[in-house]
């Protein structure tokens, strides 16, 4: 079985071709320049091709070598290519042997080729070989998963191709010399082959990208004058700036100037200017962008010299901390670690707790820290990572205990829950005086099935209001997700009022795959804001906070908060 790597199978089984032009970004890198006339100097130009789906062809240009700099002796070409592939397969054979497995082998090959006037300069060929075993019989669910399916997402491979052309070996370098650009063609062609038994449905999606680097090695034309110049490079941490300074050294012989003129260029060959757009003509410049900076120095006697200094910005990634899952219980020992660990970095953990008993037990200066959870409230853990460059970054995360015994909607509508409800409860279901906090909104915006407001102030009789609440709870459903979210919010509010949760209890909410922690009081306020939304994004004539059916733009967000409240309301032991 064969499939081209740019053919995708969607869930409906349709094939579609996606054509994307690759994005190019140009970067020029200068090698260290020496004033010694006999030494080779190097200047490099790079073009980066952003990943795009196969197959594609990109036209790119590399600046030519300026003959005013000297004599070109060699040209080195490097193609660095990488691919990322998503491979999925589903065996839809209904006649396979029960319990048997069938092998599936996929071969994804890509050729990234750089050409000049039809001549191949360099080629890189990243490839991926993948073998999987799946059930010989269809498991009844077409999802590229389960027993009869596989999903291998984000498989990567890379390769580099190089070539060097030299004048000494007779290679023609004339196309690379001038004051213009060298037009080149970079193409990426993919070929995928899948082999396996059974009746297979295959989905392969491959993107390819990389970079092209061309380096010119040359001998500089000797400058005039009786001086030389050099620029000492500097390295700083991410987010910092630095100063590059040109040092002029007068030679012992010849006419020595007392006045020099400076012109600075960045790594793209652009003039370095001040805030008014005027060229910087001082012996030093302040920079914040990484790269090579070149200075041209002139004296009053016709002498000229150039030098380049590299300004390096050390990458200093901020550590990522994930919430513990599950949250710790009071007095429990557990561990916390960053998502990515750099074995060459040093680590330092600190803790700032709002309740008693929280403490670091072990690993304060290790990537993985062991801590003891306190008896209440929350703690803020801060991790400081210091990298080999000397740069450091910090990240903090706050979480609390896995505690609370929130009761469900069903509990609050039955006789046991109704027995607990007071007139004050109904007052707090109608207002946000619940926790004596300064809220932006003055009403708890509960909603009915049709999106209208649900209020319990129509009667001062407690028995009557209990009946209305119980009936409202009974018919709560997700046809209108605002109705279901309102019911969960009302039950959660009662749980907090009756001490099943404290206002500070941390409740996890997962939105689009990311988990956030809310204090119970903050969660009530956040959900209430959603239900109070009076906009009409859907254009159905109903408020967005009141009527959220399937297909509504806010449906997923309402579902996320409803699921979080439902989970919090399902810990009742009564």
Least confident of 10-24, 139-153, 410-424: 10-24
Report whether pLDDT(63) > 90: yes
Least confidently predicted of 9-13, 305-309, 483-487? 9-13
Three-state secondary structure along 5-35? CCEEECCCCCEEECCCCCCEEEEEEECCCCC
More confident residue, 38 or 325: 325
Q: 374: pLDDT confidence band, cut at 50, 70 and 90? A: confident
pLDDT at 460: 62
Report d(CA 551, CA 556) in Å as an integer. 9
CA distances from 215 to 42, 62, 76, 408, 564 (A): 7, 10, 5, 69, 57
The pLDDT of residue 383 is 96
Q: Which long-range contacts (CB under 8 A, 24 or more apart) does 16-20 make?
A: 18/53, 19/53, 19/56, 20/52, 20/53, 20/56
According to CATH, the superfamily of the domain at 333-400 is Immunoglobulins (2.60.40.10)
Name residue, tokens 């240009």: 61
Closest CA to 242 of 252, 232, 230: 232
**What does the pLDDT look like over 455-509, one tens digit per residue?**
876 556 888 889 999 999 999 999 999 999 999 999 999 988 887 887 878 888 9
DSSP 8-class letter at 204: E
Three-state secondary-structure class, residue 515: strand
- Radius of gyration of the chain measured on its C-alpha atoms: 34
Q: Quick check: helix, strand or coil at residue 464? A: helix
Host H or E run for residue 467: helix 462-474
Fold: same for 227-314 and 333-400: yes
The pLDDT of residue 32 is 35
The DSSP symbol for 418 reads H
**Whole-number pLDDT of residue 392:** 92
Record the tokens describing residue 258, joined without a space.
Answer: 């007392």
Rounded to the nearest integer, the mean pLDDT of the chain is: 82
Which residue, 448, 512, 485, is CA-closest to 568? Answer: 485
- Of 42-46, 216-220, 263-267, 351-355, the range with the lowest mean pLDDT is 351-355
Q: Which residues make beta-bridge pairs with 184?
A: 60
**What are 5's two structure tokens?**
């790597």
The answer to whether residues 81 and 179 touch, using CB atoms and an 8 Å cutoff, is: no
Instruction: Indicate the pLDDT class of residue 2, thresholds 50, 70 and 90.
Output: very low
pLDDT tens-digit map of 104-151: 998 999 998 989 888 899 999 999 999 888 887 888 899 998 888 999
- Min mean pLDDT across 198-212, 426-440, 540-554 is at 426-440
How far is residue 395 from each of residues 327, 378, 381, 392, 472, measured CA to CA in Å?
19, 17, 8, 10, 45
Looking at the chain, the whole-number percentage of residues with pLDDT higher than 90 is: 40
d(CA 479, CA 483): 8
Q: Is the pLDDT of residue 440 over 70?
A: no
> What would the 3-class secondary structure string for 63-81 be?
ECECHHHEEEEEEEEEEEE
The three-class DSSP label of residue 516 is: strand
Tell me the backbone φ, ψ of residue 92, rounded to 5 degrees. Answer: -100, 20
The mean per-residue pLDDT over the stretch 393-406 comes to: 78
Edge to edge, the sheet with strand 149-166 lists 24-30, 41-53, 200-220, 70-91, 149-166
Higher pLDDT, 183 or 398: 183
- Residue 352: count of CB within 10 angstroms of its CB: 12
Pairing of strands 149-166, 70-91: antiparallel
What residues does each domain of the chain span?
7-220, 227-314, 333-400, 409-568
Supply the pTM of this predicted model: 0.38
**Average pLDDT for 197-223:** 84
- Asked if 307 contacts 231 with a C-beta cutoff of 8 angstroms, the reply is yes
Which one, of 86, 106, 88, 94, lies nearest residue 198 by Cα?
94
Q: State the maximum Cα–Cα separation within the chain, in Å, rounded to a whole number.
A: 108
Backbone φ, ψ for residue 441 (5° rounding): -105, 150
CA-CA distances (angstroms) from residue 43 to 48, 97, 267?
17, 64, 10
* 298 or 131, higher pLDDT: 131
Question: What local confidence, expressed as pLDDT, does residue 471 receive?
Answer: 94
Structure-model confidence comparison of residues 76 and 100, the more confident one: 76
CB atoms inside a 10 Å sphere around CB 494:
24
Instruction: Using the predicted structure, report yes or no on whether residue 16 has a pLDDT greater than 50.
Output: no
Strand, helix or coil at 37? coil
Which CATH fold topology does 227-314 show?
Answer: Immunoglobulin-like (2.60.40)
**350: confidence class by pLDDT, cuts 50, 70, 90:** very high
Q: Which pLDDT value is given to residue 18?
A: 26
pLDDT tens digits, one per residue of 19-37: 233 443 333 333 333 333 3
């Amino acid at each position: 079985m064969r499939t081209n790597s740019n053919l995708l199978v969607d869930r409906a089984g349709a094939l579609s071709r996606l054509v994307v032009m690759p994005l190019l970004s140009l970067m020029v890198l200068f090698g260290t320049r020496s004033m010694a006339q006999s030494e080779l100097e190097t200047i490099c130009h790079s073009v980066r091709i952003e990943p795009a789906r196969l197959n594609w062809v990109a036209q790119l240009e590399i600046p030519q070598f300026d003959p005013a700099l000297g004599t070109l002796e060699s040209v080195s070409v490097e193609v660095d290519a990488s691919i990322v592939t998503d491979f999925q397969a589903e065996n839809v054979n209904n006649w396979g042997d029960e319990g048997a497995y069938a092998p599936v082998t996929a071969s994804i090959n890509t050729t990234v080729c750089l050409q000049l006037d039809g001549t191949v300069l360099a080629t890189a060929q990243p490839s991926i070989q993948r073998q999987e075993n799946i059930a010989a019989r269809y498991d009844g669910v077409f999802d590229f998963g389960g027993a009869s399916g596989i999903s291998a997402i984000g498989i990567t491979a890379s390769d580099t191709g190089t070539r060097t052309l030299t004048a000494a070996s007779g290679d023609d370098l004339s196309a690379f010399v001038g004051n213009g650009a060298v037009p080149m063609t970079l193409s990426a062609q993919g070929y995928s082959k899948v082999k396996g038994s059974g009746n297979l449905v295959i989905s392969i999606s491959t993107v390819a990208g990389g970079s092209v680097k061309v380096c010119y090695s040359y001998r500089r034309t000797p400058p005039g004058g009786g001086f030389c110049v050099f620029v000492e490079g500097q390295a700083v941490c991410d987010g910092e700036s630095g100063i590059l300074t040109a040092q002029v050294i007068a030679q012992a012989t010849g006419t020595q100037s007392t006045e020099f003129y400076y012109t600075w260029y960045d790594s793209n060959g652009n003039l370095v200017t001040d805030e008014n757009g005027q060229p910087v003509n001082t012996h030093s410049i302040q920079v914040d962008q990484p790269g090579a900076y070149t200075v041209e120095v002139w004296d009053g006697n016709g002498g000229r010299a150039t030098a380049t200094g590299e300004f390096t910005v050390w990458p200093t990634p901020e550590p990522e901390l994930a919430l513990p899952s599950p949250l710790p219980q009071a007095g429990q020992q557990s561990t916390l670690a960053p998502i990515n660990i750099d074995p060459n970095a040093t680590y330092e953990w600190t803790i700032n707790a709002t309740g008693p008993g929280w403490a670091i037990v072990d690993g304060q200066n290790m990537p993985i820290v062991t801590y003891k959870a306190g008896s209440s409230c929350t703690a803020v853990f801060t991790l400081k990572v210091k990298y080999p460059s000397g740069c450091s970054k910090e990240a903090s995360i706050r979480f609390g205990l896995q505690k609370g015994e929130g009761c469900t909607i069903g509990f609050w509508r039955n006789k046991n829950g109704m027995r607990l409800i007071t007139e004050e409860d109904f007052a707090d279901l109608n207002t946000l005086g619940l926790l004596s906090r300064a809220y932006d909104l003055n009403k708890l915006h509960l909603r009915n099935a049709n999106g209208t407001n649900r209020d319990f102030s129509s009667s001062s009789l407690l028995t009557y209001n209990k009946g209305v609440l119980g009936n409202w709870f009974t018919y709560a459903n997700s046809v209108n997700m605002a109705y279901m979210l309102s019911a969960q919010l009302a039950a959660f509010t009662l749980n907090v009022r009756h001490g099943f949760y404290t206002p500070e209890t941390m409740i996890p909410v997962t939105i689009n795959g990311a988990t956030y922690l809310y204090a119970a009081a903050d969660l009530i306020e956040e959900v209430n804001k959603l239900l109070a939304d009076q906009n009409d994004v859907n254009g159905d004539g109903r408020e967005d906070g009141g009527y959220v059916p399937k297909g509504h733009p806010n449906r997923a967000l309402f579902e996320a908060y409803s699921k979080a409240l439902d989970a919090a309301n399902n810990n009742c032991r009564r």
